[in-house]
Amino acid sequence: MPDYLIFQLVASIGAMGEFGGHDRRGSLTLPGRSAIIGTLGAALGRRRDDDFSDLETLAMAVASFGRTAPLRDYHTVQTVPSAAVKAPQSRPEALRAADRKGKVNTTLTSRDYRTDCVFGVAIWQGDLPILERALRQPVFQTFLGRKSCPLSAPFDPRIVTDENPAKALRHLRLPPWIGSRKMIEIVAEEGTDLGAPARWEVRHDRALDRSLWHFGRARYAVAHPEVQAQEAT
């Protein structure tokens, strides 16, 4: 049986990527592949312009332990047309100069979040001991998406051996205030054995260029092993 590095992502509120438009930024229901790789990179002490090629080769599965609820935050943003101010030294200076010319634009924007986030991650096909040590003592502070979404529990990483990632994630030791929870959903690359019949869906979370924030699409398997097992009984 293969070895898996398992760890948890627990937060009161999280933002899991999706299309990053200016007027609205959405959120997936659970962290995407690029978010997990970014978290591992932060734990290892890598910056955005560092090499992530070794992490891109990792195989992973992400499971949700609970049905997160959507939350949308509305706020206004002031923007300055590029032609309104020449070579400003700072954003406040640009806003003041544009305001004197009546060139400030005010836009209503929204940001989507998920509340009650309890996720488990299984990693395999990589240097698991190094990643485990990094998650125990992260170099950089980590978040569940945006900086307004701090984690509320340690990663608690462990290397376990089991038949598939779904069974490996049953070894998670969730925080005591969370209590016992069933695995609602698990997502992995298409073709991964998830221990239950799976459907597939397309997600735009494959990092193509991290410096330019370009992401590509990939097909993923989605299964509900514990829910389906309960229905079968």
What is the per-residue pLDDT across 10-65, written as a single tens digit (0 to 9) for each? 999 999 876 665 677 778 889 989 899 999 999 999 998 888 889 999 999 999 99
- Does the pTM of the predicted model rise above 0.85? no
Rounded percentage of the chain residues whose pLDDT exceeds 90: 45
How far apart CA 48 and CA 114 sit, in angstroms, is 25
Phi, psi of 194 (to 5 degrees): -110, 10
Q: Distance between CA atoms of 116 and 144, rounded to whole angstroms? A: 12
Facing residues of 77 across strands?
107
pLDDT tens-place string over residues 80-108: 666 555 666 666 776 677 667 666 667 77
Alpha carbon of 162 to those of 65, 147, 154, 197: distances in Å? Answer: 19, 34, 23, 18
* Strands annotated E in 55-197: 59-64, 69-79, 105-124, 158-161, 185-189
Q: Is 125 left (phi over 0), alpha (psi -120 to 50) or beta?
A: left
Angle in degrees, 0-180, between the axes of helices 33-44 and 128-136, rounded to the nearest 10: 70
pLDDT, position 22: 62
Element containing residue 64 per DSSP (H, E): strand 59-64
For 36, which DSSP code? H
Instruction: Tabulate helix, strand, coil % of the chain (nearest 5).
Output: 20, 35, 40
Dump pLDDT digits (tens) for 62-82. Answer: 999 988 889 988 877 766 666
Quick one: pLDDT at residue 181? 87
**Tokens 């509120």 -> residue:** 13
What is the C-alpha to C-alpha distance for residues 27 and 70, in angstroms, rounded to an integer? 9
Q: Do 197 and 33 touch, CB atoms closer than 8 A? A: no
The pLDDT value given to residue 81: 63
How many beta carbons lie within 10 A of that of residue 128, not counting itself? 18
Residue 50 token pair: 């560092």
Which has the closest alpha carbon to 199: 208, 213, 188, 214? Answer: 188
